[in-house]
Amino acid sequence: MEKDTGRVEAFSDGVFAIAITLLILEVRVPETGHGTTNPELFGMLLDLWPSYFALLFSFFVILVMWMNHHEFLRWVRTAADYRFLFANGFVLLMVTFVPFPTTVIARYLSTAAASAAAAFYCGTFFFVSLAYGALFRSVTRKRRLLHDHVSEEAVARVRRAYNIGPIVYAISTALALWNAVVGLLVCASLWVLWTRLCYDVRRERAV
């Protein structure tokens, strides 16, 4: 049975929008008394820096994830089968999970448990990369759902990127256990790859 991809895109965009909105819930107003002074309040707000960091970090990550998803669906023909729908569901499952490791990072980055929090965060994106790889294969295997205009060279470039992703995320997870900041930086380095990937996919869009 085949489904119209327009509904898939609309549903997916809604999930991305909800996930990216939920990130702000971790930035909470400090609990203060009526006698709190200006310097005390400013100090409490500054102490929320892990929450600000986690919000910005994950906001950009989900934004890039959405950009890749949005552009990649342009490669898909006007009909999709259940293999594609389940693979897309795997991606959306991971998208909805991202706010949870974001909360963990926000609460523990400034504590002695920072390495565990960072490893958990980086490990999440290892599974995100597996989900995107599954979505990619559900469309490109034997060119099942690919538009005719998409070249084999473009498919090969994207495939290489999706093969690199899990490896780098696994490395970042291991490094985070040693040093939280280093692990997060290696994890963030893939933003360059995914942003470039959006450009590569967009070049193959039908006019």
pLDDT in tens, 18-58: 999 998 887 887 777 777 777 888 888 888 888 888 899 89
Q: Could you tell me which residues are beta bridge partners of residue 80?
A: 3
User: Residue 80 phi/psi, 5° resolution?
Assistant: -135, 145
- Cα distance between residue 54 and residue 207, in whole Å: 38
Query: Which tens digits make up the pLDDT trace of 17-29?
Result: 999 999 888 788 7
The CA-atom distances, in angstroms, between 132 and each of 40, 118, 172, 184 are: 45, 21, 18, 20
Q: Is the pLDDT of residue 197 over 70?
A: no
Of residues 144 and 116, more confidently modeled? 116
Give the pLDDT confidence score for residue 7 in this predicted structure.
81
| Single-letter amino acid, residue 179 | N
* Cα-Cα end-to-end distance for the chain: 28
Q: Mean pLDDT for the chain?
A: 84
- Cα distance between residue 101 and residue 131, in whole Å: 17
Helix (H, G, I), strand (E, B) or coil at 146: strand
Token pair of 75 as six digits: 């490669």
Q: Is the pLDDT of residue 118 over 90?
A: yes
